[in-house]
Structure 1
Amino acid sequence: MIDNHYILWILADPRKGENKRMIEVSNLNKTYENGYEALKNVNFSVEKGELVCLLGPSGCGKSTLLNIISGLLDATSGDVKFEGKSVLDVAPENRDIGFVFQNYALFPHMTAEENVMFPLTVGKNKKSKAEAREIAQKYMELTHITDIAKKKPGQLSGGQQQRVAIARALVQQPKVLLMDEPLSNLDARLRLQIREEIRALVKEVGITTIFVTHDQEEALSIGDRIILLNNGVVQQADKGQNLYLDPANQFVANFIGNPVIDLFDVQFDGNQFNNEHFNLLAERLADNKLKQKLPAGDYVIGIRPENLQPSTAEMADFTIKVDDIELIGRERILKFYFGDMQYRSLVDIEDQIGAGNEINLRFDMKKAFIFNKDGERVY
């Protein structure tokens, strides 16, 4: 028989309906003294335990946003909340965050162990040396650096220094972990290894993480979600798969994807899309993808290279001469030109098409995107 007091406890449990949002950024703006607008009405949230990537080109506002969240920079307007409470008036050291910098920022005169211990030996929550060492040991084991505990940063590789920096950030068990381009100083193979370790680690620890990067491959592989910025404006905040398959606008479609999307200028006459190299009937579009009725005018058709495929002459939209071929893993990129513009078709590695060959190509229009002259997606 169920105790009625137990039922009452469940109904009154304060955890029921608990806000899952760890971080909320609302209407955030940042304008510098010289008038430059680094952030423009930025809004997003991060759930507890989520790993979110801030992605975008250099100068888009990623680091500015991270520095405002951490308290290293003041916002012009808007708000940043942790668990529903504004932190804009809270000093950085009191925001309960761990920060991993691009250049690691390790103390060169301290050993790896001393660097990891350091946050526990200063401030209001200072611990005894023995207790600090015990806690540090736990996080050094998590980051696989116990064997370099007595070495100083100058004796460590870039990857080892990065692991030390991560352990030092985690040792205080912060609510939020912020990482600013943490892998940019590592070589390609090591970046791949460390980013896998970072994702596994933050998921094991369960810490809410914001990871800043300009590398889309990094963001797609490590993030639960991606917040894509350009010119201080959030272009799309979504799962990486959705940014690729369902981009919000032309910038997103062009920024996400390797090889990059093919973009063709076309004129729509109400019946077909016309380009000097092809004509595409509108009836080939998928009706459920049209976001609005298309008036006649100028548009841009975007097609992923894997959706521009070799075809029979009867079914082809146009014929091209293969200018060059690039091998990427199990696939080959066929490159060709229309005027000064280079385009791409992605085929299987076993395809025997060679440079100099003339081939027919066909659009998969159900997987194409259409943008208006302002870059807004209309299909």
Structure 2
Amino acid sequence: MNQDSGASIAFRGIGKRYGETVALADLDLTIRPGEFVSLLGPSGSGKTTTLNILAGLISADSGSIMIGDTDVTHLSPDRRGIAMVFQNYALYPHMTIAENLAFPLQARGRDLSKQAIAAKVQDVAETLGIGHLLARYPKEISGGQQQRVALGRAMVRDPKVFLLDEPLSNLDARLRLKMRRDLKALHQRLRSTIVYVTHDQSEAMSLSDRIAIYQGGRLQQFGAPADIYRRPVNAFVANFMGEREMNNLAGRVVRAGDGLVFQADGLDFALPTALNDWARFQDRALTLGVRPQGVKIGGRSDALLCEAVLRLVEHAGTEQFFYAQAGSVELSGAAAPDAVLAMGDGVQLSLLSRELYLFDTASGVALVQGGDLAA
């Protein structure tokens, strides 16, 4: 199936309120033609509002939206050159798969022959690997196949932009992984512009060219998955990205003799020489962040060290995750799958310097990202 690359999208100062509730605050966001962009955030963060305003399903209180060179701010959904795929696939149960795929082409205002429609349906079905299902009804095919039909019904319209609203959330975990791979392959083949809403950060990481992260109706960060994971702009983004939340230690950098110490909840971490630049943050309320993958058992020279007691161990296939008590602080860390770990064991923990983040406690703004000062 041949398809031109998609159109660009530009949100400019988009705002939306419901009474006193700010659903979206002054959104500025530009999506490049042919880009796969995920809108990611917790419930109520503004991602679905963004999608619905782009689709024309709700109107913005302020601002404008461009799709390509066209201002679509006040256009009806059918004039925006978009196609949506929803969480519930909304297939017509009384129609065959072929009839479901053909339905958008038979809508009022489309002047296509039966032969042209049949050819288009067959082309899209073969692209999605559902050509053998055209005579069946939705109830006779699997959830993953229904999802492909919903995608196909969007594709037959040759839209400038695809809008996907949590389309994989009704699938089981194994099938969801397969559909991620298929979606990515489909995007690479079509090069259409795709805007994808999800609350699943691993889904966004694996599919997207760039990710827009929302909280409280505001865009927090927009960038490539690796950049957002490694260089979060604030504590919210840092904790939201990654399968497991960061360890967060509230404290201060203070001078002790000739060196520096990070004091947190009764724990004193001597800062290695590589982290001496942290002196500029002395006596300021700080939060030290480190993901579990940056907490290791055993002493390391390039780390903050503390003594702890193992409290819980979880096996996760390729690695083990543990929880350890260090004074009044619980730290989570990661170990090799064959490491022998037992609850109640006393251990020395290393918080690797290259994995440390430092945030201003009051604002949440990132001061040090991914151990920058340890480089």
| TM-score, length of structure 1 as denominator length | 0.89
Alpha-carbon distance in 2 for matches of 1:340, 1:124: 69
Alpha-carbon distance in 1 for matches of 2:288, 2:49: 34
- Structure 1 residue 342, shift from structure 2 partner: 3.9
Cα gap change, 1:349/1:286 in structure 2, threshold over 3 Å: closer, same or farther? farther
Equivalent residue for 1:323, pick from 290, 301, 311? 311
Cα gap change, 1:319/1:30 in structure 2, threshold over 3 Å: closer, same or farther? same
- Structure 1 residue 21, shift from structure 2 partner: 6.7
Equivalent residue for 1:285, pick from 256, 275, 278? 275
Task: Please tell me the residue identity of whatever aligns with 1:175.
Answer: K
2:128 is aligned to 143
Provide the secondary structure at the position in 1 that maps to 2:54.
Answer: helix
1:210 is aligned to 195
- Structure 2 unaligned residues grouped into runs of 5+: 1-5, 369-375
Of residues 143-152 and 51-60 in structure 1, the stretch that sits farther from structure 2 once superposed is 143-152
Provide the secondary structure at the position in 2 that maps to 1:322.
Answer: strand
**Aligned pair 1:232/2:217, yes or no?**
yes
1:359 is aligned to 347
Q: CA RMSD in A?
A: 2.0
Cα gap change, 1:173/1:304 in structure 2, threshold over 3 Å: closer, same or farther? same
Superposed, 1:1-379 pairs within 5 Å as 22-32=8-18, 34-269=19-254, 271-275=260-264, 276-281=266-271, 283-285=273-275, 287=277, 293-312=280-299, 317-338=305-326, 342-373=330-361, 374-379=363-368
Alpha carbons 2:7, 2:34 under 8 Å: kept: no
- Structure 1 residue 26, shift from structure 2 partner: 1.3
- Structure 1 unaligned residues grouped into runs of 5+: 1-19
Alpha carbons 1:272, 1:282 under 8 Å: kept: no
Provide the secondary structure at the position in 2 that maps to 1:321.
Answer: strand
Provide the secondary structure at the position in 2 that maps to 1:370.
Answer: strand
- Structure 1 residue 339, shift from structure 2 partner: 7.1
Alpha carbons 2:249, 2:288 under 8 Å: kept: yes
Cα gap change, 1:210/1:175 in structure 2, threshold over 3 Å: closer, same or farther? same
2:373 is aligned to none
Give the length in aligned residue pairs: 356
| TM-score, length of structure 2 as denominator length | 0.90
Alpha-carbon distance in 2 for matches of 1:282, 1:234: 36
- Structure 1 residue 152, shift from structure 2 partner: 1.4
Alpha-carbon distance in 2 for matches of 1:178, 1:263: 36
Task: Please tell me the residue identity of whatever aligns with 1:321.
Answer: V
- Structure 1 residue 249, shift from structure 2 partner: 0.4
Task: Please tell me the residue identity of whatever aligns with 1:376.
Answer: V
- Structure 1 residue 159, shift from structure 2 partner: 0.8
